[in-house]
Chain A
Amino acid sequence: MPLQYHDKIVIEQLRSLEQTHQAITIRAQPSSNFDDYLLQRVEQAKLQPSLKAWLETPSRHFHFALMIFCFVAFAVGAFAIISALSGQATLNVFWVLIVLLGFHVVSFILWLVLSFLLRAPLKSPIPSLLIQSVNWLVKKTSKNSTSEKSTGEQPPYVTSAKAWFTHHFAMPQGRWLMGVIVHGVWLSYLVGGTLALILSLMTRQFDFVWGSTLLSNNAFEQLTQVLSAPMALVNWPTPSLELIALSQQGAHDMTADTRAAWGYFLLGCLMFYGVIPRLLAWASCRLMCAYRLRQFDLKYSDAYYLTLQHAWQPSSSIGRIVDPDSELSKSVHAQIAPHSQQKLPAAVLSSDALVIGIELSALTLKEAQQFSDQYLPTCSMNVVDKETTLAAHTLIEQHQQTLVLMVNAHKPPDRGIRRLLTEFIKRQNDTWIVCLNPYQAAPEAFLLWQQEALRLKLEPKQCLLLNSAQNQPPPQTNQQISDQKTLDQQTLDQEEQS
């Protein structure tokens, strides 16, 4: 079922509340379409008493205020007629008509001009005035007004009311809704006036006259005829030319028929030029407003609705395991504590060591070359396929010295590499794993190689990380260390002597 306009407004109110007050959380059950989902959220929200009040009160307050306005207008209309007629036994017909219908006619003409001649939508100050008034009133009456002032946040009720007023008045329908309000109030005024007039005419006797200093008698007669024309169409009693002439100021006493004719004429004028046009205008505004309201759509492309759409209908399902881990080789991931053995012991890596690269990338090979230029033995070969694997086996068998296996620090060992390492180490006991790190891999990558060394039953010190050759100080040989010690001792001796 498509969303009704009032549903959309409540959804928009809820949106304003959720966007400005993070504490509000609403959960909804899955539903077949998004509109239903939104409605469900509203229903869920209304289960919370405070939220229900915030969502429903603006509409209730508005209708209550409108009712008060209409009632006041009704009373003012009745009072205006009673005051206009009080204390007078003889009434000037046209003066009474101006009093009864003057303001109404002017405002009606203005509304017609603004509504139909000026097609561009007019920005009414009334919605913003209403919003500001509501904001001000709530702030003044709110117990937490001080804290709200300091945070600059609006109270939830104001947020909700603002959304309600904005969506009713600030869009194309606002123009027609204003028409409904204005015509409704005027209608109340005129109905009040009409009823008061009927009561007055029923309970008191008035003489009706007309007269003018400047205008001719003919003009008044014609004016009365013109005003009576619509009434005559529905057989409404109107004064005849003879009666009009008889009622001129200064003429002889009136008969009951003359009084009744003028009374009906007055009532007719109120109905035909006051109540009926207002009623028609009110009805047309209401129809136009309903039409415009039906055209109002929620903007589902906004961030708020897109997020809700994700929640309502995710674009993907949650992952499920279709073939679980059979745990046949989980021991591979035995955890070890990281250690900081990253120094290169020169005594171990002598120039006699056999250095073999394992799937070294071009950059890592270049790095290995830089190290070998400085102090490491040259990398004899790089194992990349079956052929080089066989060659490496042969080389290791022939070479009985220390074996240094160079690997990429950034690439964790896969099972193929682990198999290769196991085969190589089987043939040579004194094996070292040197991780070259030209890609500046994170320390965790090195940890994986340390785990591998542990699996191969190597000492922690036998797995080393060498960072960039430019940054790594060359390791000192035993001779260099002893030379340095001698030098240091000589310096100390000199200092002591001085």
Chain B
Amino acid sequence: MKTSAPDLPVLLTIVGHTNTGKTSLVRTLLRNSSFGEVDNRAGTTRHVEAAQILFNGTPFIELRDTPGLEDSVALIDRLNILSKQQTTGRDTLQAFVKDKGNLQDFDQETKVIQQLLISDVLLYVIDCRESVLEKYVFELQCLSMAARPVIPVLNFIENDSQHKNEWRKTLADFNFHAIVEFDTVAFNFAAEKRLYRKFQTVLEPYYSEFEAFIDQRDGEWQTLKQACIQSSCEFLLKVCQLQTLVKDSSVTASAMNDLQQRVRNYEKDHLQAILKLLQFTADDIDYVNIPIKDGRWTLDLFAPEALKKFGVDTASAAATGAAIGAGLDLMMAGMSLGAATATGAILGSSWSAGKRFGKQILAKYRGHVTIGLDTQTINLLVARQVFLLDALLHRGHAAQAKLLMNAETDKQPHKRTDKASKLDYTIPLKVLKKVQNLAIPAGDEAFETEIKQVLIDWFQDTLTD
């Protein structure tokens, strides 16, 4: 055990009974769903596999995933026999490892005990759905013989916590007080942070290193979360800016299909980007196309927002035109009697109005219709984004069940979707409808920034844990 100068990486061994989620814990901490093998079968992991968590590109923590302790009853019997000839628990474990006669019966346990003896910290993973059986108590006895700091990790706490207190009491009996509740499937960054804090506590020589590491990890998580929210807001803005001019009512249906397909493609692209960002894969999600029911929206030229923005824009453009005209008047020593100023103002306002509404006015004149997404569809898209972000930000990399993102996302009987269905969507709907009604072309940076900030603020409030 390291007690003086920090020697990196810190060696952490994950132990526990079979099927308690040891490999899942490693996957979640590594943010890597391809580590090891996860299965319902007992003894899925039959080797010791290691992976490192990097800090500024260099290994900081080495996690060692071990096979499950499958028969602690027989193991403790063997250890009790050996302990009679040894003075300490560690000596007993070392004697066990050296005893080649154990290999046939205790192949996996030998691997685990070898790791216990060389590790800096032991993480004992507990399936809280199970009551404290005698075999688990024997496992704890075995761990305590290693004379290493043990951090019990209470797993599967999301739905069933009836045995949590029972476990806490038993762990206290063994003087294992640095307990952490960490669900490997229902991820919570605060819990991960608490886990690292426990490491910091039990590994005093590494205190400052862990402090910097936790700070960096926290910063990265916040940045990641912010980037996901921003990406969702950009996607929503992009789809709300989609408009199609329909020249003939007979082609409305095909134009609608095109529009819907574009919305679906954008959503899929955005989904891929988010999954990649959070280091998930396409296998983590079951995507069902969004059904755009009567996804028709007729541009209202006279929507209050449009008129308001129109007024502001026209005024500023008119002022610019008038200023240029005034220069010409001045140059002509007032002989133009201000005609240039007036002409400039008229040209300026016409240019501004034409730029923003020219197409729509022309379309109206020609009897064409501009179509976009209806309020219901926008609402659904926002709800799906809330569901997606909330679910992915709370999804461990060990989760096996696919995340279902279907048409009824906002109505699924699920904790996350319950949240999505109970939300008040007034603010995002208001700003997104504003984007539509103003027919803001993509690239109007100032306006987009303003709208995006409102959406980001709303998402941040909504996704607060």
Contacts and interface: CB of A to CB of B under 8 A. Distances in A.
B172 interface: no
Interface residues of A, number: 60
A191 B168 CA distance: 87
A260 interface: no
Nearest to A389: B73
A321 B277 contact: no
Nearest to A135: B443
A448 B54 contact: no
* Of B42, B51, B444, most A-chain CB atoms within 10 Å: B42
B391 interface: no
B158 interface: no
Interface of B: 17-19, 26, 29-32, 35-36, 40-43, 46-54, 57, 59, 64-65, 68, 70-74, 103-104, 107-108, 111, 114-115, 129-131, 133-135, 162, 220, 223-224, 226-228, 230-231, 242, 258, 262, 269, 273-274, 276-277, 279, 317, 323-324, 327-328, 330-331, 351, 355, 443-446
A315 B59 CA distance: 9
B443 A306 contact: no
Contacts of A123: 446
Interface stretch (A38-46, A407-415, A456-464): A407-415
A413 B42 contact: yes
Interface in A242-268: none
Given A315-B30, A317-B51, A414-B43, 6 more contacts: A326-B107, A361-B129, A412-B18, A414-B68, A414-B70, A415-B70
Contacts of B324: 110
Nearest to A113: B323
B48 A322 contact: yes
Interface stretch (A73-81, A327-335, A467-475, A484-492): A327-335
A102 B111 CA distance: 92
Nearest to B228: A303
A287 to B, nearest CB: 25
Interface of A: 22, 102-103, 106-107, 109-110, 123, 125, 128, 131, 150-152, 162, 166, 170, 301-303, 306-307, 310, 313-326, 328-330, 332-333, 359, 361-362, 384-386, 411-416, 419, 441-442, 444-445, 448
The 9 closest A-B pairs by CB, nearest first: A385-B134, A415-B70, A323-B48, A416-B71, A325-B46, A316-B30, A319-B51, A317-B52, A414-B70
A325 B330 CA distance: 91
A333 B41 contact: yes
Contacts of B114: 323
Contact of B70 (A22, A102, A310, A416): A416
A338 to B, nearest CB: 14
A313 B19 contact: no
A315 B443 CA distance: 34
A444 B40 CA distance: 8
Contact of A107 (B54, B59, B317, B327): B327
A250 B178 CA distance: 108
A306 B52 contact: no
A276 B42 CA distance: 86
B228 A448 contact: no
B70 to A, nearest CB: 4
A371 to B, nearest CB: 21
* Of A131, A321, A323, A359, most B-chain CB atoms within 10 Å: A323
B124 to A, nearest CB: 16
B138 to A, nearest CB: 10
Contacts of B35: 319
A310 B32 CA distance: 12
A390 to B, nearest CB: 12
Nearest to A359: B133
A350 B104 CA distance: 40
B242 A152 contact: yes
A301 B226 contact: yes
